[in-house]
Structure formats: structure tokens, C-alpha cells
Amino acid sequence: MAKALELNADSLTTAPPVPKAAKASTAHAEPKRTVSAPKKNREPLQVRWPAEDVKAAKLAAIQLDFPTLSDFMLACFHAYMKTTKKT
């Protein structure tokens, strides 16, 4: 059981130290990802695809070293638009 803390003017002005067990370790930090475009220029987009197409798109994005699936889809869109330009 925790010890009772005596309240006085000094204990109310200074914060007690945080125990080591309560501190988060920094060893398990997530690796930093590269940023491809500023977030302020991005708009959310939702699509409903069949599960096998979603899996194929995710695998292609990984194999082609795209940082995110969104970057891969955007590159595919731009490539499609270049090939289907109307004259």
C-alpha cells in the first residue's frame, strides 16, 4: 500500500519526482518516415476496392519503395493521366 503524503505548503509548491517505472522509454521509438508532400496540400480520399486489389496495390507500393500507399496511388494516377491526354 502507498505511503500517505503529508500535505504542507512546501509539498504543494514543488512537484514530486517521477519514478523511473512511470517514464516511457525512448528505445522503442518508431523509425522516421520520409515525407513526400506537405500535409497541408493533401485531401482525404476513400475508395472501396476488392480485397485482392487492395493487397496487390499494397505489395506494389512496397516493392517499388514508395513511402506510403497514397504516394503510389498518386504516381499511378499521374502516369495514367499522361498516357490518356486528349489532344
- Give the helix ranges, DSSP H, for the chain: 9-13, 51-63, 69-83
Nearest to 35 by CA among 66, 75, 79: 66
Note the pLDDT of residue 2: 74
Closest C-alpha among 51, 69, 49 to residue 59: 69
Instruction: Output the tens digit of pLDDT for each of the chain's 87 residues.
Output: 677 777 777 777 777 777 777 777 766 555 555 555 566 677 888 889 999 999 999 999 999 999 999 999 999 999 999 998 765
pLDDT at residue number 35: 55
Q: Residue 73: exposed, middle, or buried by beta-carbon count in 10 A (0-12, 13-18, 19+)?
A: middle
pTM assigned to the model: 0.50
Which residue, among 62, 83, 81, has the nearest Cα to 72 in the 3D structure? 62
pLDDT of residue 58: 94
Q: What pLDDT is attached to residue 12?
A: 74
